[in-house]
RNA sequence: GCGCCCGUAGCUCAGCUGGAUAGAGCAACGGAUUUCUAAUCCGUAGGUCAGGGGUUCGAAUCCCUUCGGGCGCACCA
């Protein structure tokens, strides 16, 4: 179904066409103040200017001399909208203020009720194949906070695109073919030879520690570094024994990060793994092709492509190095091979990369190279960036000893803190239920806090803030949901058949102002979805949901539901039901955050 | 040095394809509770949108500039 804003936009466009002969998109936004109505149209102001300038638009003299207010009058005169809005009003410099008819709102509520799976979210017309590259953990290392944002933002992007109707292909471009294996194997050969015999017995914790030690060794001992390099070469040459160890390390790593994905509600599994190793036999061809095209040239011993428009700090052309002077390939080579694979094999219409903003330059260059090589054709390459997670001191989040905060530990801590809150607020619940609530709240809080911040900016990580019951937090949302569910249970106790009342509903009453406000918010879900997906901004979704929960709370405070008079009770039950459905849909389907029936 | 991002209330942040008096939450202050879960609601106070200039009928938003912070810039990913 179409959102109110879409319907209004269509009507306004038609009116403008009739009034001025101009074919321009409608400029409709939410009203800045409730006293101006629900939506406002700003076309008259912009149009008056454009007509006067007479550069982009051709117009008659009479139109050209019109003030914005006069133009607004003319537009309104042609506007047929009384089935949606009350009589439009002109205000200020030439704004057209629009207030929805309660009947229209009620009718929309009915439509959303029957639109069970989408709740007013429209399907896009042309479905695309979209490859989303996100999360990409490093094999043989623990996941840490640095992986959090890519993982959850990427997942949210996939969920929204899927709901919009795209065919989404998730790709975990994990780091599984790099030098860490050489370093690890070289280290184990000297220190823990027995582990190499039984690599399956090695845990991710061991690997993490070994790697740290080995790395330090590399730094102080060139001889050891050299043997590590030799091990990488063996791996890259598909040496059988080395591969066997590698496979075990990969398995140990998967055993570590799959539970984290499950905990976080991330739809990623083995079938989405297309790590660096996946492209290993496609790298030589990348280099050959680029050489053949004359794009790749040798420079200082390395094979490089120099995309147009990039300079080094010495003001020289900046290369994308695709083969080192020792013959080894680099991550840029792998990334280029991945682009080709995704375009040619996966048939991607769009490829979306979700990484932190620091990799911006890398992807700009990469995309340019792919374009220059003629690989891109009609595929759209998109780099979605995000800011860093900072500690309370405003610096990148680290442990006291200066190490990366492990993701698992961070999530465990969130759950632990949530649990103590549950314990405090609701000590009588069964332990198993407390556990369930603490999980939903703790994990939800971490995710929700991330989503509710603007994707592009850094944010300060604070357990206290994200677990607060007030404000735009997961617990607040989950609480609002649980309260609605509680009404249903209470109704049952009182012998009220809420299902039956909902089904038998005849007329929808929206007489109390809080009811109407809530209803108007309910019918804007599709609109919020559209604005969120347009720029891949999850915070638009959380902002919408938060406003919804707030409006519900106001309604809940002002209007009794179960004790309402029989005539209006079904309406109020309907408002409750729809609010619960949308909160649940938003949190679970779009953000991957669990709701709970009571808390 | 060059490039990118950022600077909005005491704090944490929205808002940025230009639109009416710049919004939330926290903290502060005042009110509502025989509760359909107060983990709530209602209200008050708080801002030269870093500074300066420009474009415009109109700028937090666009352009220029200064200051302050972050990040990136050849063989790591």
CA→C1' distance for A457 and B67 (Å): 21
d(CA A257, CA A230): 28
- Which nucleotide is closest, CA of A43 to its C1'? B19
The 10s digit of each residue's pLDDT in A174-225 is 999 988 899 999 999 999 888 888 888 889 999 999 998 998 898 888 899 8
pLDDT tens-digit readout, A134-183: 999 999 999 999 999 999 999 999 999 999 999 999 999 999 998 889 99
Task: Give A157 CA → B53 C1' in Å.
Answer: 41
- A385 neighbors A357 (Cβ within 8 angstroms): yes
pLDDT tens for residues A573-583? 999 999 999 99
Task: Read off the pLDDT band of A403 (50, 70, 90).
Answer: confident
The residues that bridge with A302 in the sheet, in sequence order, are A299
Q: Is A406 helix (H, G, I), strand (E, B) or coil?
A: strand
Q: What is the SS3 assignment for A142-204?
A: CCEHHHHHHHHHHHHHHHHHHHHCCEEEEEECCECCCHHHHHHHHHHHHHCHHHHHCHHHCCH
- Scan for tokens 């905990």, then name that residue: A263
Q: What is the mean pLDDT of residues A284-301?
A: 96
Whole-number distance in Å between A337 CA and B69 C1': 37
Kindly report which amino acid residue has its CA closest to the C1' atom of nucleotide B21.
A33
Q: For the domain covering A474-590, report its CATH number.
A: 1.10.730.10
Pairing of strands A95-98, A320-323: unpaired
Which nucleotide's C1' is closest to A554 (Cα)?
Answer: B41
Q: Which nucleotide is nearest to A92 (CA to C1')?
A: B20
| Nearest nucleotide relative to A390: CA against C1' | B70
Q: Please, which positions of strand B sit below 7 A from a protein CB?
A: 1-6, 12-16, 19-21, 23-27, 36-42, 56-58, 70-77
In chain A, where are the structural domains located?
Answer: 4-100, 474-590
What is A537-571 written as a DSSP string? -HHHHHHHHHHHHHHHHHHHHH--STTS-TTTHHH
Q: Hey, what are A73's tokens?
A: 């009058």
**Torsion angle, CA of A45/A46/A49/A52, rounded to 10 degrees?**
-100
Which nucleotide's C1' atom has the smallest distance to the CA of A531?
B17
**Separation of A50 CA and B63 C1' (Å):** 20
List the A100 CA – B22 C1' distance (angstroms): 25
Which pLDDT tens digit goes with each residue over A508-527? 999 999 999 999 999 999 99
- Which fold would CATH assign to domain A4-100? Gyrase A; domain 2 (3.30.1360)
CA angle, residues A493, A497, A499, in degrees to nearest 5: 125
Q: How far is CA A559 from CA A483, A485, A576, in A?
A: 14, 16, 11
Neighbours of A482 (CB within 10 A): 17
Please report, rounded to whole angstroms, the spatial distance between the CA atom of protein residue A42 and the C1' atom of nucleotide B48. Answer: 28
- Residue A273: half-sphere exposure toward Cβ, Cα within 13 Å: 19
Å: A78 CA to B9 C1': 44
If pLDDT is split at 50, 70 and 90, which confidence band does A97 have? very high
What pLDDT is attached to residue A417?
A: 93
Between CA A429 and CA A420 the distance in angstroms is 13
Instruction: Output the distance from A321 CA to B69 C1' rounded to whole Å.
Output: 32
Q: What is the mean pLDDT of residues A339-350?
A: 97
Minimum-distance nucleotide, CA of A37 to C1': B20
Q: Which of A228, A244, A231 is nearest to A195 (CA)?
A: A244
Q: Is the pLDDT of residue A122 over 80?
A: yes
Q: Do A389 and A459 touch, CB atoms closer than 8 A? A: yes
**Rounded CA gap, A28 and A79, in Å?**
14
Nearest to A379, CA basis, from A412, A340, A418: A340
Percentage of residues in chain A with pLDDT exceeding 70?
98
């Amino acid at each position: 179904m179409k959102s109110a804003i879409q319907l209004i936009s269509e009507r306004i466009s038609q009116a403008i066409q009739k009034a001025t002969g101009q074919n321009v998109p409608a400029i409709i936004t939410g009203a800045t103040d409730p006293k101006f109505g629900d939506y406002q149209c700003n076309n008259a102001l912009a149009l008056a200017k454009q007509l006067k300038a007479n550069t982009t638009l051709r117009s008659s003299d009479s139109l050209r001399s019109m003030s914005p207010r006069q133009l607004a009058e003319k537009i309104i005169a042609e506007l047929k909208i009384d089935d949606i809005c009350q009589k439009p009003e002109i205000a200020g410099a030439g704004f057209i203020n629009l207030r929805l008819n309660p009947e229209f709102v009620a009718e929309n509520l009915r439509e959303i009720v029957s639109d069970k799976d989408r709740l007013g979210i429209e399907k896009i017309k042309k479905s695309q194949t979209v490859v989303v590259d996100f999360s990409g953990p490093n094999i043989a290392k623990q996941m840490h906070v640095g992986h959090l944002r890519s993982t959850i933002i990427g997942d949210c992007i996939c969920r929204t695109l899927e709901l919009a109707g795209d065919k989404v292909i998730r790709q975990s471009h994990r780091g599984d073919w790099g030098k860490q294996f050489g370093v690890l194997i070289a280290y184990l050969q000297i220190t823990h030879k027995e582990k190499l015999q039984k690599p399956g017995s090695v845990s991710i914790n061991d690997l993490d520690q070994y790697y740290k030690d080995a790395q330090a060794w590399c730094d102080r001992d060139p001889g050891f570094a050299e043997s590590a390099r030799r091990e990488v070469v063996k791996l890259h040459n598909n040496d059988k024994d080395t591969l066997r160890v590698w496979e075990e390390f990969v398995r140990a790593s998967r055993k570590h990060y799959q539970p984290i994905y499950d905990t976080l509600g991330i739809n990623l599994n083995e079938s989405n793994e297309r790590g660096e190793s996946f492209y290993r036999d496609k790298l030589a061809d990348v280099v050959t092709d680029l050489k053949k095209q004359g794009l790749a040239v040798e420079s200082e011993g390395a094979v490089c492509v120099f995309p147009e428009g990039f300079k080094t700090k010495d003001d020289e052309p900046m290369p994308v190095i695709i083969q080192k002077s020792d013959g080894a390939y680099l991550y840029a080579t792998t990334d280029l091979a991945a682009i080709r694979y995704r375009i040619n094999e996966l048939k991607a219409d769009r490829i979306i990369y979700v990484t932190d903003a620091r990799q911006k330059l890398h992807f700009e260059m990469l995309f340019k190279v792919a374009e220059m090589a003629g690989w891109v054709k009609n595929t759209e390459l998109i780099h979605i960036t995000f800011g860093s997670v900072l500690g309370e001191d405003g610096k990148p989040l680290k442990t006291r000893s200066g190490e990366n905060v492990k993701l698992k530990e961070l999530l465990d801590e969130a759950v632990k803190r949530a649990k103590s809150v549950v314990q405090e607020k609701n000590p009588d619940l069964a332990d198993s239920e407390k556990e369930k609530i603490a999980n939903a709240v703790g994990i939800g809080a971490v995710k929700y806090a991330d989503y509710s911040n603007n994707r592009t900016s850094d944010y300060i990580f604070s357990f206290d803030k994200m677990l607060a019951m007030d404000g735009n937090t997961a617990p607040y949302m989950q609480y609002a949901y649980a309260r609605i569910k509680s009404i249903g249970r209470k109704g049952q106790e009182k012998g009220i058949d809420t299902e039956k009342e909902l089904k038998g509903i005849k007329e929808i009453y929206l007489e109390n102002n809080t009811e109407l406000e809530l209803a108007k918010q309910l019918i804007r879900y599709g609109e919020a979805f559209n604005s969120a997906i347009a720029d891949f901004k999850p915070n638009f979704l959380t902002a919408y949901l938060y406003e919804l929960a707030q409006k519900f709370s106001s309604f809940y405070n002002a209007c009794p539901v179960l004790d309402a008079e029989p005539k209006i009770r079904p309406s109020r039950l309907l408002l409750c039901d729809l609010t619960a459905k949308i909160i649940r849909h938003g949190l679970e389907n779009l953000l991957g955050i669990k709701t709970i029936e009571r808390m």
